[in-house]
Amino acid sequence: MMRGLTMELARVTEAAAIAAARWIGKGDKQSADQAATSAMRSIFNHIDIRGTVVIGEGELDEAPMLYIGEKLGTGNGTVVDVAVDPLEGTTNVAKGLANAMAVLAVAPQGALLHAPDMYMDKIAVGPKARGRVHLAASMKENLQEVAKATGKRIDEVVVVLLDRERHYSAIEEIRTAGARVHLISDGDVGAALSTCYEETGIDMLYGRGGAPEGVLSAVALKCLGGDFVSRLAPLSDMEVMRCHKMGIANPSKVLLMDDLVRSDDAIFAATGITRGDLLQGVRYVGGDIVTTQTLVSRALTGTVRRIEGRHFMSRKPNLVMV
């Protein structure tokens, strides 16, 4: 039943990407996010699933669409958990920067961690370094393990981090150990994904970012054979209480990939919005034709598909038939 969803989910991220692309470079990230969210929800509700959003745009009173707990689908078919980020990289779209994507993950009911909207410490690596990195290890130890696993010298290892003040000490540790740093402004799901593709030159993602994005990253890396280790980082007693409310008894526990995604039968899909390292962005080629590039993968089989889409928008007035 899950296998039959792969192409349907590609349609969902395609629709979100096309809708958000209308706002590239216009400086309005809120409108871009709203457009992507509306399109994603519209397509989801034409798919035969009984879905529940476990990672979404916020709570019901914060997000009118794709909120945590929202039901998606026709009400027929497979019962699934859904994690979504209709526009990963809102600032990138607003400024016309690279690597914005529409992403989602689907897994059997109860398989995805219901991650609170808070910080999470993360390390992601590709297939060669799977099982070699740990949050308890020092930065130098992790870098040495990644270098050994990939057959590189440590000065050839590249670590991607969000360009935030909270990472300044880690950046210094990486450079002191002899490795190289690649800073990004937004979009750590895409950065985690890039560790699984040698052509990107990225060997490891490190740092503190959003926990919901961590669950999406874990599904992606499970599908692609990589590894993801993490730990929630609540910053207040209220956030600790929120963890407990969402069923996380020990927020300080190190979470391995199987803690975040408790099923091998998970699917990840991503469509590029702006130009990117892995996926080209939405392109307008004239004559009301739009092209997209989508990656969709399934953990159970390890199958990864890259889909080139060519969309005649005059035949899809509301993106309902994307």
151 is annotated as contributing to ligand binding: no
89 is annotated as contributing to ligand binding: yes
Q: How many CA atoms lie within 13 A of 198 on its CB side?
A: 7
70 is annotated as contributing to ligand binding: no
85 is annotated as contributing to ligand binding: yes
Q: How many CA atoms lie within 13 A of 282 on its CB side?
A: 29
213 is annotated as contributing to ligand binding: yes
Amino acid identity of 207?
G
Q: Report the distance separating Cα 108 and Cα 102, nearest Å.
A: 21
291 is annotated as contributing to ligand binding: no
Q: Report the distance separating Cα 167 and Cα 169, nearest Å.
A: 6
259 is annotated as contributing to ligand binding: no
276 is annotated as contributing to ligand binding: no
Contact partners, residue 53, CB within 8 Å, separation at least 6 = 66, 67, 68, 69, 70, 71, 72, 82, 83, 84
Compute, in degrees rounded to 10, the torsion defined by CA atoms 158, 124, 93, 43: 150
203 is annotated as contributing to ligand binding: no
90 is annotated as contributing to ligand binding: yes
Per the listing, tokens 């890259």 go with: 306
165 is annotated as contributing to ligand binding: yes
As annotated, the binding site includes 33, 57, 85, 88-90, 119, 164-166, 186-188, 210, 213
As annotated, the binding site for substrate includes 88-90, 119, 164-166, 186-188, 210
As annotated, the binding site for Mn(2+) includes 33, 57, 85, 88, 213
